């Protein structure tokens, strides 16, 4: 049996309902208010988080190497990857857009994967729990914004169906990139931040100076 953080609900056999946040004894099995199954911690939190993160890392490669958008015009066919799209915006002088797309599509996914790995490690070592909890909150919040490139593709494809001189088609990377974003979002939600405090609490040196 793993140790729970001192002063934690779990150490007293109390579980927080994941749905309605009522605190009740875990041995009741189900939340008396909303009938959700009670757990002290998310089930197989670290296993699931690792698995989803590894899958996201693998998908990250095709999503950056393959084209995300294909533009056909009189001058020929042109394939854009995420990076070449960013470079195009930059060369045309649309610096803010280039920065937004680069941040949302290139930086955030990588930083998010690294952050989740750091969180998984912190759940074992229990080091710097306060900073790690903050990292967890940021990771949960920013993940969705990576989806911006997928929406750009969806809108361009929908709006340019003129049958005129230009036609736009989505590329394979659009699918794998959406996969990266969804998988990292799932990884962040399956991670249980309380594990960090459990690990920190079991090491007596760290309980006093978590500020």
Give the three-class secondary structure for 25.
strand
Min CB(184)–another protein separation in Å = 13
Q: What is the binding site for another protein (CB under 8 A)?
A: 4-5, 7-10, 12, 14-16, 19-24, 33-36, 89, 92, 94, 97, 100-101, 104, 129-130, 133-134, 136-137, 144-145, 147-166, 169-170, 174-175, 178, 182, 185, 189, 193-194, 196-198, 210
Q: What's phi and psi for 155, nearest 5 deg?
A: -70, -45
**With respect to another protein, which residue has the nearer C-beta, 98 or 113?**
98
In degrees and rounded to multiples of 5, residue 126 shows phi and psi of: 70, 25
* Beta carbon of residue 62, minimum distance to another protein (angstroms, whole number): 14
Other C-beta atoms closer than 10 Å to the C-beta of 193 total 20
Which of 191, 196, 198 is CA-nearest to residue 48?
Answer: 191
- Contact assessment for residue 8 and residue 201, using Cβ atoms and an 8 Å cutoff: yes
CB of 61 to another protein, least distance (A): 18
Kindly state the smallest distance separating residue 107's Cβ from another protein, in Å: 15
Query: Cα angle at 181 between 175 and 185, to 5 degrees?
Result: 140
């Amino acid at each position: 049996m793993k140790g729970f953080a001192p002063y934690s609900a779990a150490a007293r056999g109390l579980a927080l309902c994941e749905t309605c946040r009522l605190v009740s004894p875990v041995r009741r099995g189900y939340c008396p208010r909303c009938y959700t199954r009670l757990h002290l911690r998310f089930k197989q939190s670290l296993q699931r988080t690792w698995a989803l993160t590894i899958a996201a890392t693998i998908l990250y490669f095709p999503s950056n190497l393959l084209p995300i958008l294909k533009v056909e015009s009189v001058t020929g066919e042109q394939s854009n990857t995420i990076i070449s799209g960013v470079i195009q915006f930059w060369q045309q002088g649309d610096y803010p857009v280039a920065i937004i797309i680069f941040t949302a599509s290139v930086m955030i996914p990588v930083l998010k994967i690294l952050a989740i790995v750091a969180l998984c490690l912190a759940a074992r070592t229990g080091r710097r729990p306060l900073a790690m909890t903050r990292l967890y909150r940021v990771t949960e919040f920013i993940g969705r914004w990576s989806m911006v490139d997928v929406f750009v593709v969806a809108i361009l494809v929908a709006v340019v169906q003129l049958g005129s001189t230009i036609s736009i088609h989505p590329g394979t990377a659009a699918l794998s990139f959406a996969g990266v974003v969804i998988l990292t979002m799932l990884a962040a939600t399956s991670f249980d931040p309380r594990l960090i405090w459990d690990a920190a609490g079991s090491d007596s040196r760290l309980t006093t100076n978590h500020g």
